[in-house]
Structure 1
Amino acid sequence: MFARAMARWYFGMQAGAGALWWVGVFTVPGVRQATLGGLDAETIAVFDIPLFVGASALVAAGVRSAVWVAVPWTLLVALGMATYATVTGLGGWGAIAMAAAAFGSIGAGALDRYGRLPSDELLVGPFAFREADHATSGGYVARTGRQIIVFWGCFLGVLPLVIAVIEARWGVRIAFPLLAAVAGGACFAAGSALGIWSALTMSTRGEGTPLPSASARRLVIAGPYRWVRNPMALAGVVQGVGVGCMLGSWLVVLYALAGSIVWNWLIRPHEESDLRARFGSEFEAYERDVGCWVPRSPRLPRR
């Protein structure tokens, strides 16, 4: 019931925000230009007001079937706006707003339909939790090194560059001061050092790798894991924010912060459930004494 109440609340907020946006479109030329570019606002309004604003309001009022109108329409408009902004370089803020609405609508629609977010469906392939096969310490370190190259290259290299290019093309770039790039470089260096330290500790002490499908065979309470339970996740967020600052991209910074939210709310509960099932009271004691995100002074013996 709580999940569905949250979904209704979200769609109510979406309906209100959509209505206010349309008021702005028809009364403030700057809003119209920034969000729609050269598109015909009157023609779009004929469809969008009933299918986006109206359908969202109906879901908020308890008409659950209206989800099947609000969510697909939001996705369609988000795709259309993203394509238009990419081709023309206009209406970028509208594309950003509709992309945010699309993600929110999917999440709220899942809450309304299933009473939960579909986190189980994310845990497939390399992200499915499985204990690592037996290997030598050097073998675990080599596997971890390959994982770092692939995942850092993708999530801290390719994707941020694509996001920064899209940000510039859509005309939504916001100038960063030079100091931000310097701070970003420091954050990236610190996050990388923490990430490598965490990965090596996991490989040499835990008999496994950071990847869920080859997770540690032993509970690691050593190195950075004595201070915080998820140092690699913390390192990834710091690295992502650092990359965003170095690129001068607020969207990349947002991407890094959004990734931390996804990990914390969708992935972490499954990871901790897996650790609790495999290590029992040992992990429960570790969970009580060591913080998830905020480092604490170590109180457990090193392992």
Structure 2
Amino acid sequence: MAWWIAVFLSPAVRTATLGSLDPIAVAALDVPLFVLGSALAALGVKAAAVVASGWTALVAAALALYATITTEAGLGVLMMIAAAACSGLALCFVLLGRVPTEWIVRGPFAFRSAAANRPATTHVSATIGQMILFWGFFLVAVPLLISWLEIRWLVSLPVPPFAATAGATLLVLASVLGVASAVTMASRGSGTPLPSAMPNRLVVAGPYRWVRNPMAVAGITQGVGVGLILGSWLVVAYAMIGSLLWNYAVRPLEEADLEKRFGTEFQQYRDTVRCWIPRV
């Protein structure tokens, strides 16, 4: 509601968040469907939570399309994307009482051990192929799209002149760490980083002696490096959001599976080696 008050009181806010759209026409739909719907959802009305969440996602998508076509309302797009994400989380709590992170590892993404009778070279080759696909998508295609949208939506921010050099340095160092970690996992653990073909042995050698998931550390750092190279704060934010999602949604599931499969061995490893900060 505070945003709508600012829209009607400040032409600058109205232009930055709605562009040339008629605020009265937008408010006529948004206030009852989102503002009032969210208020009712907070009181536990499930139908209102569904309507408010669905409406927010629809507005975010429509405003993103509008901004991409017109180069207007870029700030409004970012606000609506954040609102849609928060609304989705709220919907989970209203309907389920929690966020069902276990849905992430269902179907083709369910945790399964790799075929133990395959030679190490097979696992290493599969791991390298996976890295090429993942890096190409998450470190090239997605960042380039985000960077283009950032420019198109006119939400770019100035970056220091050394950002590209710093980003390239981070990218190279993190890539070396990522490759070393992946090859160590494949050769020592008889498996791959994919949930559907996980290692058959707990890997505590190489980079895994210092942090529990060096591939996650490498991936997040690579994302930040790419963002600095592109001069895109949104790509850097994309990498940081990825770190939060991995840490709070994926990591607990992965470590629960490791504890189930390796028992005391993993418990001792977890108690000794930290997740993000290397031990000295």
Q: TM-score, normalised by structure 1?
A: 0.89
SS of alignment partner, residue 257 of structure 2: helix
Letter in 2 for 1:294: I
Is it true that 1:239 corresponds to 2:239 in the alignment? no
Aligned to 1:177: 160
Conserved in 1, the CA contact under 8 Å of 2:41 and 2:94? Answer: no
Q: Distance in 1 between matches of 2:278 and 2:25?
A: 54
Distance 2:145 2:136 in 1: 12
- 1:62-141 alignment runs, 5 A limit: 62-124=44-106, 126-133=108-115, 134-141=117-124
Aligned to 2:196: 213
Output the CA distance in 1 between the equivalents of 2:91 and 2:85.
10
Q: CA deviation at 1:63?
A: 3.2
- Runs of at least 5 residues in structure 2 that lack an aligned partner in the other structure: none
Deviates more, 1:226-235 or 1:66-75: 66-75
User: In the aligned structure 1, how far is the partner of 2:69 from the partner of 2:109?
Assistant: 35
SS at match of 1:178: coil
Deviation of 1:64 after TM superposition, in Å, equals 3.6
2:40 is aligned with 1:58? yes
Count of residue pairs brought into register by the alignment = 279
Q: Indicate whether 1:250 and 2:244 are aligned.
A: no
Return the alpha-carbon distance in structure 2 between the equivalents of residues 277 and 62 of structure 1. Answer: 36
The amino acid across from 1:288 in the alignment is: D
> Per-residue displacement from partner, 1:227-271 (whole Å, max 9, x unpaired)?
110100011000001101110111111111111111111111111
The answer for the alignment partner of 2:271 in structure 1 is 288
| 1:10 alignment partner in structure 2 | none
Stretches of 4+ moved more than 6 A in 1? none
Measured in 2, the distance between the counterparts of 1:62 and 1:225 equals: 45
**Contact persistence 1:125–1:213 (CA under 8 A):** no
Alpha-carbon offset, residue 118 of structure 1: 2.4
Amino acid at match of 1:129: F
1:206–1:216 contact (8 Å) kept in structure 2? yes
Taking only aligned residues, the RMSD between alpha carbons, in angstroms, comes to 1.2
* Deviation, structure 1 residue 46: 1.2
- Conserved 8 A contact 2:44-2:94: no
Q: Percent of counterpart pairs with the same letter?
A: 52
